[in-house]
């Protein structure tokens, strides 16, 4: 699924990486716990999280996660944006709950990691 499609399904706004919306994701993982995120296979992955601090992006950088959806109407900080830009990370902001966002994407065919 293209990120542009993800944005459409979630009614999300693109706050970083507008030029990369044709990127494909096949799997998604949802967590506010970075300890968990650091243990998963990140190929073609979309991360959904409500955790908005610099470590969300650092964790993604280290785990090679390139695509993030911030849920629950949380906003990214300028520091997060800076690191995301540096690492070619796409960030979408959406005002759905984590459960609703996951439900919509699961129904649309994104696969769980496990």
Partner 1 sequence: MLFEYSIKGGDFSTAGQASSRFKKVLQQLNVPPQTIKRIVIALYEAEVNIVAHAFEGTINIEVQPGYVVMTLTDKGPGIPDIEKAMEVGYSTASPKVREMGFGAGMGLSNIKNNADILEIQSKINQGTTLKITVNLNQENVIKE
State how far the Cα of 8 lies from the Cα of 21, in Å rounded to an integer. Answer: 11
Question: How many chain residues interact with partner 1 (CB under 8 A)?
Answer: 22
State how far the Cα of 45 lies from the Cα of 67, in Å rounded to an integer. Answer: 7
Smallest gap from Cβ 39 to partner 1, in A, equals 5
> Which of the ranges 13-21, 39-47, 88-96, 98-106 carries the binding residues for partner 1, by CB under 8 A?
39-47
Q: What token pair was written down for 111?
A: 């696969």
Near partner 1 by CB under 8 A: residue from 8, 13, 24, 79:
79
91, 81 in Cβ contact below 8 A?
yes
Smallest gap from Cβ 20 to partner 1, in A, equals 18
Residues 6+ apart with CB under 8 A from 96: 10, 11, 71, 72, 104
- Biggest CA–CA distance in the chain, Å, is 33
Q: Is 82 in the site for partner 1 (CB under 8 A)?
A: no
Looking at the Cβ atoms of 18 and 43, the one nearer to partner 1 is 43
Residues engaged in binding partner 1 (CB under 8 A): 32-36, 38-39, 41-42, 51, 53-56, 58-59, 61-64, 79, 83
């Amino acid at each position: 699924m293209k990120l542009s499609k993800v944005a459409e399904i979630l009614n999300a706004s693109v706050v970083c990486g507008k030029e990369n919306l044709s990127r494909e994701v096949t799997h998604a993982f949802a967590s506010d716990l970075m300890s968990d995120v650091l243990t998963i296979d990140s190929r073609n992955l979309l991360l959904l999280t409500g955790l908005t601090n610099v470590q969300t992006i650092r964790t993604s950088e280290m785990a090679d996660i390139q695509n993030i959806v911030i849920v629950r109407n949380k906003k990214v900080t300028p520091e997060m944006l800076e690191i995301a830009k540096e690492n070619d990370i796409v960030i979408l902001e959406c005002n759905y709950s984590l459960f609703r966002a996951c439900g919509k994407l699961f129904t649309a065919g994104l696969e769980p990691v496990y």
